[in-house]
Structure 1
Amino acid sequence: MTISTQEQPRGHARRWLILGVICLAQLTVLLDNTVLNVAIPSLTREMDASTADVQWMINAYSLVQSGLLLSAGNAADRYGRKKMLIVGLALFGAGSLVAGLAQSSGQLIAARAGMGVGGALLLTTTLAVVMQIFTPEEQPKAIGVWSAVNSLGFAAGPLVGGFMLNHFWWGSIFLINLPVAALALAAVAAYVPESRNRQGDRPDLVGAVLSTIGMTALVYAIISGPEHGWTSGRVLATAGAAAVVLGVFAYWESRIPYPMLDPHFFRDRRFTGAVGGLVLITFGMGGALFLLTQYLQFVLGYGPLEAGLRTAPMALTVVALNFTGVGTKWAAKMGTPLSIAVGMALMAAGLVSIATLTGHGYSGTLLGLVLIGAGTAIGSPVMAHAVMSSVPREKAGVGAGINGTLAEFGNGLGVAVLGAVLNARFAALVPVAAASLPAALAAAGSDRERAEITGAFSSGLETSLLVGSVAVLLGGLLAATLLHRAGRADRAGHVDGADGAERADRAQAHPAQGQADA
């Protein structure tokens, strides 16, 4: 059965079962986003991988996925969201199999790139299907569950990876995807309805190529900035190429009758408020949480599995609030603008707690993680729904692609910029000449120097987390303000439209009175 995107006023009869299937498919991608990090020492040792090899093992996946998100969403809208979901699962499973059996760094990098293609299709189609099968009233709750699975995947990745590495070889972290992908594939084929845009838009092949090249170049510049220097020729050339290509993409999309990304979306205050806030929020959160994992391992001395366990309260808070529907109920009572403002304020407070209370041990970090989890449970689903609801139903795949692209962009930029803030502060305070914390500790000649080095790192972390908290708070206030203004404008337009209709009815029944009203 194929569902027209313009012909479903009611929710699908099996929508909650389908949501479970979609979340299972989503989980396969989310686990892989973080599971590889704990395997880096094993890969370095067993495959004799260089630092550059390890970086490409991680970056090949994110580069391909980020570059293809918009094109994947457009393909899902045009050719069918169920069909693209099946293709994404198949590609992701095949890539996982090749990665698990790889015999060299090159093979693993190629397999990760293939997994990135599947991941792009999965991330866009899952959210697009949610928007199709649920009624507008149920969409916030459904997106809350979808968002909770995102957090669960983020937290479970290191735990699953650590468990697998403790019992099996490094390839098992990829092969574990196979049964999950196979189960999700069978469930999608059996239960998920097909939906597509029936308007028959012509494929925007030029736009797809330009967006893929531009986003890939932009993400590569962000990723390589900390390693090669922001003013290096490689980074500047790549960033310049990205700006030119994305500028041509924007011009092309404004000139053709069937654009992949309609420029008119950005004239909607709800859309611009949601996407602007999303970038700033993921900037602050992505960078801050990346630095927190370093603090737990390098300063407090936890192993990867222990560090994963100690960051888990954040995800567990999200899961508890969203799976029980508490987060959605709070958001419904407060309304979209206030929910975003409150959620982001809680997240910013959590980052401040981690920054200022780490000297008291893990308790300050735990408080911060719980606050971040509560803020995420309230604010993130509302933000995602604001993005998706401001895009036409027939463009749900593109909307999900925009949501994913901006989240990836903000996250990558946050890691790069807040990492640079940390490194600058660390370099100014560290008593020995070293480019990183491990190198500085290796060069330290006494316990006093080691204490000064970890103190310098902690100071740099505190500064970075505070910068991240400001970005999160500003993002929440920006989004809340623009969404509040958009809602007020919509209400005023609705009242004006109702008054106009009433005057027209009176004019038709009583022509003389109608002329007086005019």
Structure 2
Amino acid sequence: MTDTTTTQQNTVKHKWWALAILALSVSLVVIDGTIVNVSLPVIMKDLKLSFTDAEWIITLYSLIFSSLLITMGRIADNFGRKKMLIIGIVIFLIGSIMASFSKDITFMLAARTMQGIGGATVLPTTLSAVNSLFFGKDRIVAFAVWGSVISGMAAIGPLLGGYFTTYMTWHWIFWINLPIGLFIILAALKFLPETYGEKMTNGFDFIGFILSTIGLILLVFGIIEGRNYGWWHVKGDHPTLFNLSIIPTLLVVGAIFFALFLVWEAHLSKTNKSHLLDLSLFKFKSFSLGNTIAGIVAIGESGLLFLLPLFLQNILTLSPIKSGAILAMMGLGAFLAGGMASFIVEKTSASFVVSLGLFLETLGFFGFFKTVDPNNGLTWIIVWLIVYGIGLGFASAQLTSIVLKDVPPAQSGQGSSIQSTVRQIGSALGIAIIGTVFGLQLQHDIPNTLDNVGLPTQVQHSLESSVIDSAGSSIRVLKQSNPEALHLTKSIQDNIVTKLDHNFTNSVVKTIGIASIIMCISFILTFGLYKRKDKAKG
């Protein structure tokens, strides 16, 4: 297997323009992953969607996106990363235009499918191109820029979503992609050099494609929907199998398909036939341990992004756009880190910067654990978000650089797609794990909260159950309601709100504490990475 990448460090023209194009391309995909969530309530109202319909707008995109990353990364290696990037952007734009014209759930889901295919094509392609185009000190800078853009844009997405839905219409969360995408296509045609990786000498691996796609779809769906369908016993009127929730079956069958995929890929590698995934990459400690750390980090990070908006909007009663503006402080921290990361890497090493970044992220989590309180206001939250964002900017980019540093440029597509898939599955696991833990904490903390308030027993139980079932949104409704309409005095309403605020916040804090432990584990694991200054590749 040979590396057909011809663009080496001293021959790449316009490489910094190329980096800007790649960073802007990944921004388009990353923002779309967060901007839609904030706009869902408005979309639900306009299209008259049920809550289940709205969930599928998010879930379907995640399923398609996660399941195709490995395949698209490998196809880009074979047919050219520049070509596949442009194709991915075109598909993504078609999906965006379709979404903006949606009048019902069917057309919206078709649009989200197109966006998922486009996003799965763009993300590993951008990363493998960065890995193939930049070497030595330029590589340090390139990954610092690439990582800080991803971290920053993920934080800015909710702010943009809140702005468009508040001051314009929800359609603009999709229309905004069109001018950006067209600029990317034109700029890529002019400035982005073509790079290739390992060729498919024996044709496309259809069996691997089928096994990996089915396996990942079932696994990701099971992880995402476990809380809704029930991890073991079925919830509501969801489908059952042998009188149990279908989730355990989906997870087991998905794991079997993915295990078969790995066995099949190992067989193809041994017989020197074209494959989607070269398992020998996991022999590199930087690749295997780096991906393990990345997956654990994704679990913790997604948990925080799940919990903090609930506290900001339901307890501090911030509007979606104000909540988005607070969360955007992470982006500020990430962009600050991007400017410092390359300098620190040159003086120390990429692995040191990863350790520093994850230490700051863990510190941010611990800060939330100690200071999140209804009476503390926003100051400390903003401080810890900036600290967390700086750590995110340090860790994200340089961890990606470490994961790929020993991967031959010819296999950059495979390495990049695996890294992206690990992060996606980690994020899904994070929401599932943290969401489940948070639900259990609410079930422990909220019942009997309103004892001695003087409410009828049935009313008390109804209020407490609504807080658990709505993940706190009923507290916000209660605060904004006229006490006379609820047949309550103002003092009793205030007493109810104070008690619910206190116990709901306790559940948030305890769950953040568990997420802090997860982040601390990832920090400890970084000491297994090579603690030496990275040598220039190539």
Q: Return the TM-score normalized by structure 1.
A: 0.89
Instruction: Show CA shifts across 1:315-350 (max 9, x none).
Output: 11111231x3x1221133232332222211110010
Deviation at 1:454, TM superposition (A): 2.0
Distance, in Å, in 2 between the alignment partners of 1:367 and 1:440 is 26
Instruction: Show CA shifts across 1:155-187 (max 9, x none).
Output: 222222222223332222111111111111111
Q: Which residue number corresponds to residue 460 of structure 1?
A: 507
Q: Which residue number corresponds to residue 292 of structure 2?
A: 276
The reply to whether residue 205 of structure 1 matches residue 206 of structure 2 is yes
Deviation at 1:262, TM superposition (A): 1.4
Instruction: Show CA shifts across 1:179-219 (max 9, x none).
Output: 11111111111211111126453322211221111111111
Distance, in Å, in 2 between the alignment partners of 1:366 and 1:5 is 44
Q: Which residue number corresponds to residue 329 of structure 1?
A: 343
Q: Is the 8 A contact 2:4 2:198 kept in 1?
A: yes
1:123-138 mapped onto 2 (5 Å cutoff): 123-138=123-138
Find the residue that maps to 2:372 and give its secondary structure.
helix
Q: Is the 8 A contact 1:273 1:480 kept in 2?
A: no
Mark the CA change 1:250 to 1:20 in structure 2 (over 3 Å): closer, same or farther.
Answer: same
Find the residue that maps to 2:275 and give its secondary structure.
coil
Distance, in Å, in 2 between the alignment partners of 1:67 and 1:376 is 25
Deviation at 1:273, TM superposition (A): 1.1
The reply to whether residue 338 of structure 1 matches residue 385 of structure 2 is no
Distance, in Å, in 1 between the alignment partners of 2:11 and 2:475 is 58
Mark the CA change 1:7 to 1:41 in structure 2 (over 3 Å): closer, same or farther.
Answer: closer
Match among 217, 239, 252 for residue 251 of structure 2? 239
The reply to whether residue 351 of structure 1 matches residue 383 of structure 2 is no
Find the residue that maps to 1:196 and give its secondary structure.
coil
Distance, in Å, in 2 between the alignment partners of 1:311 and 1:167 is 19
Instruction: Show CA shifts across 1:110-154 (max 9, x none).
Output: 101110000011101111111122123321210111111112321
Deviation at 1:80, TM superposition (A): 0.7
Match among 514, 518, 521 for residue 474 of structure 1? 521
Q: Is the 8 A contact 2:313 2:476 kept in 1?
A: no
Match among 383, 404, 408 for residue 420 of structure 2? 404
Find the residue that maps to 2:523 and give its secondary structure.
helix
Distance, in Å, in 1 between the alignment partners of 2:317 and 2:424 is 29
Instruction: Show CA shifts across 1:473-510 (max 9, x none).
Output: 211221331444xx69x99xxxxxxxxxxxxxxxxxxx
Q: Which residue number corresponds to residue 222 of structure 2?
A: 221
Partner amino acid, structure 2, of 1:347: E
Find the residue that maps to 2:465 and give its secondary structure.
coil
Q: Is the 8 A contact 2:73 2:414 kept in 1?
A: yes
Deviation at 1:267, TM superposition (A): 2.0
Q: Is the 8 A contact 1:265 1:271 kept in 2?
A: yes
Q: Is the 8 A contact 1:337 1:479 kept in 2?
A: yes
The reply to whether residue 285 of structure 1 matches residue 301 of structure 2 is yes
Match among 246, 250, 267 for residue 255 of structure 1? 267
Q: Is the 8 A contact 2:72 2:124 kept in 1?
A: yes
Mark the CA change 1:24 to 1:411 in structure 2 (over 3 Å): closer, same or farther.
Answer: same
Partner amino acid, structure 1, of 2:465: A
Instruction: Show CA shifts across 1:62-100 (max 9, x none).
Output: 110001000010010011101100110000000000000
Q: Which residue number corresponds to residue 393 of structure 1?
A: 409
Deviation at 1:7, TM superposition (A): 6.2
Distance, in Å, in 1 between the alignment partners of 2:27 and 2:386 is 22
Q: Which residue number corresponds to residue 482 of structure 2?
A: none
Q: Is the 8 A contact 1:331 1:378 kept in 2?
A: no
Q: Is the 8 A contact 1:429 1:456 kept in 2?
A: yes
Q: Which residue number corresponds to residue 58 of structure 2?
A: 58
Partner amino acid, structure 2, of 1:316: L
Which structure shows the bigger proportion of residues in helix conformation?
1
Q: Is the 8 A contact 2:18 2:192 kept in 1?
A: yes
Q: Is the 8 A contact 2:77 2:411 kept in 1?
A: yes
Q: Is the 8 A contact 2:355 2:527 kept in 1?
A: yes
The reply to whether residue 433 of structure 1 matches residue 465 of structure 2 is yes
Q: Which residue number corresponds to residue 84 of structure 1?
A: 84
Q: Is the 8 A contact 2:368 2:384 kept in 1?
A: yes
The reply to whether residue 363 of structure 1 matches residue 383 of structure 2 is no
The reply to whether residue 192 of structure 1 matches residue 192 of structure 2 is yes
Deviation at 1:276, TM superposition (A): 0.6
Q: Which residue number corresponds to residue 145 of structure 1?
A: 145
Residues matched between the structures, number:
484
More moved, 12-21 vs 48-57: 12-21
Identity of aligned residues (%): 28
Deviation at 1:11, TM superposition (A): 5.5
Q: Is the 8 A contact 1:441 1:453 kept in 2?
A: no
Deviation at 1:439, TM superposition (A): 4.3
Partner amino acid, structure 2, of 1:88: G
Unaligned runs of 5+ in 2: 234-244, 450-463, 479-485
CA RMSD of aligned residues (A): 2.0
Q: Which residue number corresponds to residue 505 of structure 1?
A: none
Distance, in Å, in 2 between the alignment partners of 1:167 and 1:301 is 19
Q: Is the 8 A contact 1:288 1:464 kept in 2?
A: no
Distance, in Å, in 2 between the alignment partners of 1:200 and 1:62 is 27
Q: Is the 8 A contact 2:197 2:413 kept in 1?
A: no
Find the residue that maps to 1:433 and give its secondary structure.
helix
Distance, in Å, in 2 between the alignment partners of 1:267 and 1:311 is 38
Mark the CA change 1:198 to 1:61 in structure 2 (over 3 Å): closer, same or farther.
Answer: closer
Instruction: Show CA shifts across 1:333-371 (max 9, x none).
Output: 232332222211110010111121122221221121111
Distance, in Å, in 1 between the alignment partners of 2:526 and 2:259 is 25
Q: Is the 8 A contact 2:148 2:396 kept in 1?
A: no
Find the residue that maps to 2:103 and give its secondary structure.
coil
Distance, in Å, in 2 between the alignment partners of 1:72 and 1:249 is 16
Q: Which residue number corresponds to residue 382 of structure 1?
A: 398
Q: Is the 8 A contact 2:475 2:500 kept in 1?
A: yes
Q: Which residue number corresponds to residue 175 of structure 1?
A: 175
Distance, in Å, in 1 between the alignment partners of 2:126 and 2:49 is 34
Find the residue that maps to 1:137 and give its secondary structure.
helix
Q: Is the 8 A contact 1:73 1:125 kept in 2?
A: yes
Partner amino acid, structure 2, of 1:4: T
Partner amino acid, structure 2, of 1:274: G
Partner amino acid, structure 2, of 1:331: V
Mark the CA change 1:229 to 1:99 in structure 2 (over 3 Å): closer, same or farther.
Answer: same
Deviation at 1:9, TM superposition (A): 4.9
Q: Which residue number corresponds to residue 93 of structure 1?
A: 93
Partner amino acid, structure 2, of 1:78: N
Partner amino acid, structure 2, of 1:312: A
